[in-house]
Amino acid sequence: MRGHDEVLSYFGKLRAASAARDSLLCIGLDPDQRLIAGGLSAAVDFCRKVIDVTADVACCYKPNAAFWEQYGPEGWQGLSTVRKAIPPDIPVLFDCKRADVPNTMSAYASAVFDAMEFDAATVHAYHGSESVSVFTRYAERGTYVVCHTSNPGRADLQLLACEQGALFMAVADLAVRCDNGGNTGVVIGATAAAEAAAVRLRFPTLPFLLPGIGRQGGDVDAAVRASFTGDPASCLIAVAGAIMYAENSRSAAVAWRDGIRRALPPNRALHPTGHGDLQNAGG
């Protein structure tokens, strides 16, 4: 691994891409076989076309592992082809939600960061800090820990009471403890603005990835108000199907980007500098 370098780091790259495009929009690359006929090659071509028309609008792309694994072994090659089609100044976040004991997590991390060369990834925290830390050990890559999700079933576990309050708050605390020089954030569903605001209050500089906008019904204005701190990395809004399968993907991406812009506080430009030190993001 290279030593940590802000120029090469995931969050440094994200901040620069955000400032260059005046955007907080992360576009999902999730091919649905029910909507894209023609198998893997058609899915790859479809995603490459989305990239071609949105690369000046998106500050990040987020392929979800499941939508590529459904094609079998060849799906990984297709994913690699799509990953290489993304301009090098735009970070690529692999939404794989890996979770296991440290030995297995080491293999997962090597696959994601060494073999596939993604800039960042999502992980689950159920195995504890020793497992999450296997990913955050890659100091120049980003790791988002799933904290509070966008689906209704989240209440089964994520709202359980614990010492820190609700379980999702304990997960946010774990993410901060696993941070390695500012390379760790959390996933919080955009359908849970109140919970996002609570996490933001306790952890003022923790980066958020907010899925659940678009087809899942997340409120852009509420998500941005609950999350944005002035740091472009503080509030990465993910939209997938509502852009991919729109009649005009470019127009949809521009509309989402501009909608997110309008939700920002007045006079808050997206500058790549001025972000906080995540290591000091205590509550």
Whose tokens are 């199907």? That residue is 241
Q: pLDDT 10s per residue in the chain (283 long)?
A: 333 344 469 999 999 999 999 999 999 999 999 999 999 999 999 999 999 999 999 999 999 999 999 999 999 999 999 999 999 999 999 999 999 999 999 999 999 999 999 999 999 999 999 999 999 999 999 999 999 987 777 776 766 788 778 889 999 999 999 999 999 999 999 888 889 999 999 999 999 999 987 666 678 999 999 999 999 999 999 999 999 999 999 999 999 999 999 999 876 656 555 444 333 334 3
Which domains are delineated in the chain? 10-273 (3.20.20.70)
* DSSP 8-state symbol, 4: P
- Dist CA 96 CA 79 (whole Å): 12
Whose tokens are 């949105």? That residue is 54
Q: Which of 49, 62, 84, 97 is catalytic?
A: 97
Element (DSSP H or E) covering residue 166 = strand 165-166
Is position 13 annotated as part of the catalytic site? Answer: no
* CA distances for 43 relative to 12, 40, 66, 97, angstroms: 30, 5, 13, 22
43 token code pair: 């899915």
